[in-house]
Homo-oligomer: A and B are copies of this chain.
Amino acid sequence: MNSILVDSGTSPQIVPADHPLVTSTDRGFTYGDGLFETIRVLNGQALFLNRHLRRLASGLTLLNLSIPWNAVTLTERIQQLIAANQMTEGILRLTITRGSGPRGFGIPAQAQPQLIIQAAPLPPAPPPATAILVPWRTDPASPLSQLKSLSALDKVLAKDFASQAGVTEALFINLNGNLSEATSSNIFIVQHDQILTPAVSEGVLPGITREVLIEYALAWGQRIIETAITPAQLTTASEAFLTNSVSGPRPLIGFEGQAIGTGQPGPITNILAQEYQQLCETVSQPTK
């Protein structure tokens, strides 16, 4: 995991991970003007890569940012970095910035986007999570709510707010008072044997694991409904869980100092976590 890939549009280079790469006029650095994807690697394969690249493409369109790499090229770059690091398991971060530009927020007519792909080891499976509410509200009408962007200081501050309160996660609420997501994961609750998750229209980053669960749940004997969810519903849920690409479904067992359900990982969460892990193993088989 000691090397990273960088590409300014001409040709990719593999360089040491601690190499200074970004100029101080790159808008990714100056204004957080760029996007990233966090991708799990299993059995040497980048999991659900096409879905990640599709979401990335949607985000770039919202940013009015056109890049010189198509999905095929990005896939090659990722495979090149996996090979360079001899990764079988781990996490990739793919970052695209708008590139250098003059001072000012206006989007420059000419800019050369930068691509950086980094590798990190897979962290140990996290313990069940506990959460509190973020003390400010977000607007689902903001394009930022749909973007996995480099402008993530709100998430840094929310995560720190949770840490200082002694819990693992902070949940954002929107200006309608409904739950949207956690700092780096989507949220699901189980209520009357139904699985609910906030609809994208509530101001939710459309997570890849979220998308996969919604699509595969029926095959696993479950049904996931996208809807509006209030914090009060979380309090009375029989179980809850968080999802992201790094750790899959993760039990959420406490909220605002109270246990959710029994205060233990719930049976439906456990089923989904097992099925999801099995799916990851299946789709990462090289013979596929």
- Interface residues, chain A, with chain B CB atoms under 8 Å away: 4, 6, 17-33, 36, 38, 63-64, 91, 93, 95, 100, 102-107, 116, 118, 120, 123, 135-139, 141-144, 147, 149-160, 163, 175, 183-184
Contact of B25 with A28 in the complex, beta carbons under 8 Å: no
A-B pairs with lowest CB-CB distance, top 8: A32-B32, A151-B151, A151-B153, A22-B22, A136-B142, A136-B141, A105-B159, A31-B152
Chain B residues with CB under 8 A of A152: 30-33, 105, 151
Contact of B18 with A21 in the complex, beta carbons under 8 Å: no
Contact of A105 with B184 in the complex, beta carbons under 8 Å: yes
**DSSP class of A's interface residues: helix, strand, loop or mixed?**
mixed
Contact of A103 with B116 in the complex, beta carbons under 8 Å: no
Which of chain B's residues has its CB closest to A19's CB?
A: B23
Chain B residues with CB under 8 A of A29: 22, 26, 28-29, 150
Q: When the two chains form the complex, which single residue of B20, B38, B142, B160 contacts A106, counting CB atoms closer than 8 Å?
A: B160
In the complex where A63-B157, A137-B141, A141-B137 touch, is A23 in contact with B24 (Cβ < 8 A)?
A: no
Contact of A24 with B30 in the complex, beta carbons under 8 Å: no
Which of chain B's residues has its CB closest to A158's CB?
A: B105
Contact of A31 with B150 in the complex, beta carbons under 8 Å: yes
In the complex where A103-B120, A104-B184, A175-B175 touch, is A33 in contact with B135 (Cβ < 8 A)?
A: no
Closest CB in chain B relative to A180 CB, distance in Å: 13
A151–B38 CA distance with the chains assembled, in angstroms: 19
Contact of A156 with B105 in the complex, beta carbons under 8 Å: yes
Chain B residues with CB under 8 A of A156: 27, 31, 33, 105, 107
Closest CB in chain B relative to A83 CB, distance in Å: 19
Known: A29-B29, A175-B175. 19 other contacts (CB 8 A): A19-B24, A22-B24, A22-B26, A26-B29, A31-B32, A31-B150, A31-B153, A31-B156, A32-B151, A91-B103, A103-B120, A105-B184, A136-B143, A137-B175, A138-B139, A142-B154, A144-B153, A147-B153, A150-B151
